């Protein structure tokens, strides 16, 4: 059909699911932050990562997983839902 258009959407969904899964592990550390526009302003709040399973992700301007584990790994994964873009940063 249109593989160039479908691939980024599938990658976005796959990476979002991987982040939720990582944040649900027993040794996970960190937090999940969402940014949403409320009354014209951009507001940030912390949520539990599994909340993203049942909501329309497009309601958020940005989602940040500030994750890691008790072994010392640290990473951030930033999602821009409306553009279906995401960026991963591993912090060794």
pLDDT of 10: 84
Q: How far apart are CA 16 and CA 63, in angstroms?
A: 10
pLDDT of 9: 73
Q: Each residue's pLDDT tens digit in the chain (92 positions)?
A: 445 556 667 899 999 999 999 999 999 999 999 999 999 999 999 999 999 999 999 999 999 999 999 999 999 999 999 999 999 999 86
pLDDT of 66: 98
- Please provide the DSSP assignment of 7-48 as one string: HHHHHHHHHHHHHHHHHTSTTEEEEEEEEEEETTEEEEEEE-
> Is the CB of residue 75 less than 8 Å from the CB of residue 67?
yes
pLDDT of 8: 65
């Amino acid at each position: 059909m249109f593989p160039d258009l479908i691939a980024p959407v599938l990658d976005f969904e796959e990476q979002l699911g991987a982040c939720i899964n990582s944040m649900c592990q027993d040794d996970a550390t960190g937090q999940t932050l969402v940014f949403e526009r409320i009354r014209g302003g951009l507001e940030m709040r912390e949520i539990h990562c599994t909340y993203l399973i049942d909501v329309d992700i497009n309601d958020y301007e940005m989602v940040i997983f500030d994750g890691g584990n008790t072994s010392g790994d640290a990473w951030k994964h930033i999602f821009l839902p409306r553009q279906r873009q995401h960026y991963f940063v591993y912090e060794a």
